[in-house]
Structure 1
Amino acid sequence: MNTIVFSTKRINGIIVLVSSLMMLIFLNLPFKAKPFGDSTFHEESKNLALFIKGKRTCDQVVITKAPGPILFYTPAYLLAPVNATDDQLWVYGVVFTSIIITISLLLIFRIGSSFFSKEVGFLSVLLFFLFPIHCYYSLGIMAEAPAFFSLTLAIYGWSIALHQPDKKSGWIFLILGMWFLILNRPNTLLLLGLGFLVVFYAFFKNKSFFISYGKKMMVSFVCVGLLGFGVLQLTKIITGTKSGGNQETLFYYVAHQGRFQFREEPTDFRFWESDIRPDSKDYQNWNKSGAALSAIMKQTHESYAEVYKKFLIDDALEHPGLFIRQFFVKCFYGHVYFINSVQPDKFDLGPLKGPIGYWTFILLINSINLIIVAGAILFLFREKNLIRYWIFWGVIISLLIFHGLTYMEPRYIFPSRVALYLMSAAGLYRIAWIRKIIQKITIYIFPIPNSKL
């Protein structure tokens, strides 16, 4: 299906209504994402907004991490009063994020309908409602929501370009989406490399694909690279020496964490924080290693990057077996979810209480989650023309490679769930009984023209 040739009025209304209700439900759950994450994006967005309003000096404007979230939340903060408290700014940010996430779901339905069918588009959205992790991450000032929207926009652009390669809007959406995705999650830069490999493969093995899309894809990737490099350089100029942090230091810090994650405790999935896993051998060894590397820096006067880089390379070469095992455990960990904000003995959600209620809930949500993963795997094994879906599997592979080699948290993989749910819906729809159920439901959502339904 290349174009939307049916009424979307009902499905649009359903998406907006259900999304709004689910956001309200998540607001009242006993567990939530941290309101301001690690506070970096919140503070830097607030300072930039106040600078634009003339209430902050240039010296107070810094961008120490990814610039994407700053560009995302600053417009929302500009709408707030100058004297707004952090809690008030959080409300502005969350309302804005909720609107953007709802728009993303509307686009996801259109993507599913364009690539597959309206029934698959509906099932894609239904999966998000069955496992609404997007609502959880929408309640914090973090990079996850803007990255989610970015990938949605990029795939939406590709859905247009695939069917109408001469239509400029598709390529523009693809460029803007990939560019903003990299600004929010610089680790997705690997997607550009995979994109070039896809074009290279098509040149030799799929001439029809290369003739239709190859050159335009290459131009798009170059544009994304130049735009991304330009903005990242601009952020360095803006920040200058006003902050001790930078992307290189952050990378080595995170990669150092990753060398100890699941090292001696491959089944310890607790969050990497001192108040959550103080008894963890891996966490304690990480602290000891950091102290040892700090001593080396003082003794040799080498830079942070030089000392940490040498450790990472030497450690991987000295422990190849551990390195490989950690990689695969991290890839699995990226696709399962645990609640770290509430301890099992304090868990209280309706009839689910205490440790038994906690683990019952964890089992339930991860069962749904693993079914979604299984649907995507089914799609990948059954689909014979995978090159059409390069951006779907490409972004998942990019994030798994990067975080499998460095440090993994499920939230780092979250943006790729746009692609995962779409592939899962297409895979699950191939199962006869699921297809029948979806077809019966969608009769009432997509009425036949001139019918009274």
Structure 2
Amino acid sequence: MNFIMKRVIDFVAKYPVLITALVCVVFYFLPFKPKPFGDGEYHEGTIQLIQYILNGFQGTVRIDKGLFTLFYYLVPYSLGYVFHNDTLFYLLGVAYNSIITCWAIQYIFASFDLMSFPTRTKFWTIIVLNLFPIHVYYAMGILAESAAFLGVSLFIYAWLKIIANSNAVKYYLMLSFSLVIVSGTRPNLLPFLVLFTLYFLTIKSEWKNKVIFISSLGLMLLFLALVEKKINNTDGAFKKDIFRRHLLWSRYELRDNPFNWLPQDGQKEFATSDYLHNLAKRDELDSICRVNHFDKTDYYIKWVTNDIIQNPGLTLRQYSLKFFQSQTFVISPIMKYNKSNFVKWSIHIYINAINYLLIFFSIAAIVVMNKQKKYQLMMPFLLFWGWSLVYVFIFHSEQRYMFPVRPVMVFLFGYYLNYYFNGNTSSKNSQVE
């Protein structure tokens, strides 16, 4: 029996990419998936981008969120564009996302190899990853999550190579490119780029490497900014409206219903009193702005700021609960299932048992890194996780805003397991000290 178990553990640890590919195939045939094209912005925008290129770089493109996501989907959509068929676009997009997700897993486990994590650590990590494979679930739609998952996985691998004193130029280019992917798919993470860049300038490294990183990052971001300015057809008023909605909704999340963590998307049968109060307050503030000719965005910011100052206890409670709520990764089609509350809440509890396992192990890993004085290893992860939380504290805590932290938490989970399996000592064979 022990021999069979050892063979199973060795196989799982050796083939995480193969296992991920199989899970992708299984998920494709399951009845619950994200909306195929999300809100349609990436699907529509990518098609418009192809048309823009074919028209001799003339026209405009819908860019509601990150421009890089359109370049990301340009690959599969170009293959099927001649057929102009949404079903084919979806199939190619899902296949492409599955390949990218497998590639990201390859980088995560290559990072484990850099740290000399043992077979047992790899085994339990892939098991926990696939007990609730939210990374695979998001790959089943035309969303930004798969690209972000790859970007962060690439970031972890490149950072480990760099702090292991590798002076190879390719790792600094890889680091900058990974951050472009992350911010280009999740623009709300741009402040993290600023924080990380400032931290990067303080570490001990040759100035040549710092110049390579800063210049390559700056040039790629400048390219995206110039392209977006030239081709974007999205009205600035639309983005301001989204900003106000998320900012105001944040003040009502978990206010009167602190333990109702279901996503709110306008479906009345699932609306909480918090959501209804948010809608009423939006109408009230809009009315005040119309009557007094106030700038809506400025007025919303002032109202939210005053509400935070006037309700410090409520704000602290909301943020404490949001720490967990924003990382639940609830699958909406399941949670909005009307037939059986027992099934729905059993799945809800199961999902979050996995989520919180990763959260608590990640916190433990940060504590261990601090104890071991591995600050260079720890700081980027703290900055990334910390800024992501700050964002959802201040704005609407949609779980997808926290999803890019997933590879970081997976790595931290493996780090703590390695620490535990080594008898609570530092790994002596790790390339990263």
- How far apart in 1 are the matches of 2:14 and 2:83? 36
Instruction: Say which of 424, 428, 436 aligns to 2:413.
Output: 424
Counterparts of residues 377-416 of structure 1 (less than 5 Å)? 377-383=363-369, 384=372, 385-416=374-405
Give the secondary-structure state (helix, strand or coil) at the position aligned to 1:342: helix
Which residue matches 2:300?
308
Task: Confirm or deny: 8 A CA contact 2:60 2:231 kept in the other structure.
Answer: no
Deviates more, 1:377-386 or 1:188-197: 188-197
Structure 1 position 151, deviation (Å): 0.9
Task: Confirm or deny: 8 A CA contact 1:108 1:121 kept in the other structure.
Answer: no
Give the secondary-structure state (helix, strand or coil) at the position aligned to 1:283: helix
Instruction: Say which of 346, 351, 369 aligns to 2:355.
Output: 369
**Residues 321 and 98 of structure 1: CA distance in aligned 2, closer, same or farther (over 3 Å):** same
**Residues 393 and 142 of structure 1: CA distance in aligned 2, closer, same or farther (over 3 Å):** same
Counterparts of residues 30-179 of structure 1 (less than 5 Å)? 30-54=31-55, 58-119=58-119, 120-121=121-122, 123-179=124-180
Letter in 1 for 2:107: L
Task: Confirm or deny: 8 A CA contact 1:109 1:122 kept in the other structure.
Answer: no
- How far apart in 2 are the matches of 1:364 and 1:269? 15
- How far apart in 2 are the matches of 1:328 and 1:142? 28
- 1:299 to 2:285 alignment: no
- 1:220 to 2:213 alignment: yes
Task: Confirm or deny: 8 A CA contact 2:107 2:153 kept in the other structure.
Answer: yes
Which residue matches 1:439?
none
- How far apart in 1 are the matches of 2:301 and 2:265? 23
Deviates more, 1:189-198 or 1:30-39: 189-198
Which residue matches 1:238?
231
Which residue matches 1:449?
none
Letter in 1 for 2:144: A
Task: Confirm or deny: 8 A CA contact 2:169 2:209 kept in the other structure.
Answer: no
- How far apart in 2 are the matches of 1:170 and 1:255? 37
**Residues 191 and 81 of structure 1: CA distance in aligned 2, closer, same or farther (over 3 Å):** closer
Which residue matches 1:351?
none
Which residue matches 1:444?
none
- How far apart in 2 are the matches of 1:239 and 1:171? 30
Instruction: Say which of 291, 295, 309 aligns to 1:317.
Output: 309
- How far apart in 2 are the matches of 1:229 and 1:289? 39
Letter in 2 for 1:132: P
Structure 1 position 294, deviation (Å): 2.0
- How far apart in 2 are the matches of 1:344 and 1:82? 37
Structure 1 position 404, deviation (Å): 1.4
**Residues 96 and 345 of structure 1: CA distance in aligned 2, closer, same or farther (over 3 Å):** closer
Task: Confirm or deny: 8 A CA contact 2:134 2:329 kept in the other structure.
Answer: no
- How far apart in 2 are the matches of 1:91 and 1:147? 20
Task: Confirm or deny: 8 A CA contact 2:12 2:19 kept in the other structure.
Answer: no
Which residue matches 2:3?
none
Structure 1 position 387, deviation (Å): 2.4
- How far apart in 1 are the matches of 2:147 and 2:208? 29
Give the secondary-structure state (helix, strand or coil) at the position aligned to 1:127: helix
- How far apart in 1 are the matches of 2:190 and 2:269? 32
Which residue matches 1:250?
242
Structure 1 position 430, deviation (Å): 3.0
- How far apart in 1 are the matches of 2:191 and 2:139? 25
Deviates more, 1:171-180 or 1:403-412: 403-412
- How far apart in 2 are the matches of 1:36 and 1:270? 21
Structure 1 position 157, deviation (Å): 1.4
**Residues 345 and 287 of structure 1: CA distance in aligned 2, closer, same or farther (over 3 Å):** closer
Task: Structure 2 unaligned segments of length 5 or more: list them.
Answer: 1-9, 425-433
- How far apart in 1 are the matches of 2:423 and 2:165? 31
Aligned length: 411
- How far apart in 2 are the matches of 1:248 and 1:225? 26
Letter in 2 for 1:409: E
Task: Confirm or deny: 8 A CA contact 1:93 1:141 kept in the other structure.
Answer: yes
Letter in 1 for 2:406: R
Which residue matches 2:19?
18
- How far apart in 2 are the matches of 1:26 and 1:434? 37
- How far apart in 2 are the matches of 1:32 and 1:263? 30
Give the secondary-structure state (helix, strand or coil) at the position aligned to 1:82: helix
Structure 1 position 21, deviation (Å): 1.8
Which residue matches 1:281?
273
Letter in 2 for 1:397: G
What is the TM-score of this pair, normalised by structure 2? 0.85
Structure 1 position 133, deviation (Å): 1.0
Task: Confirm or deny: 8 A CA contact 1:373 1:420 kept in the other structure.
Answer: yes
Task: Structure 1 unaligned segments of length 5 or more: list them.
Answer: 1-8, 204-209, 348-353, 436-453
RMSD over equivalenced CA pairs, Å: 2.9
- How far apart in 2 are the matches of 1:225 and 1:248? 26
Structure 1 position 139, deviation (Å): 0.7
- How far apart in 1 are the matches of 2:247 and 2:125? 34
Deviates more, 1:43-52 or 1:186-195: 186-195
Letter in 2 for 1:302: F
- 1:29 to 2:22 alignment: no
Structure 1 position 57, deviation (Å): 8.7
Deviations 1:161-191 (A, max 9, x none): 1223311111110000011211111121232
Task: Confirm or deny: 8 A CA contact 1:152 1:418 kept in the other structure.
Answer: yes
Deviates more, 1:41-50 or 1:14-23: 14-23
**Residues 434 and 164 of structure 1: CA distance in aligned 2, closer, same or farther (over 3 Å):** closer
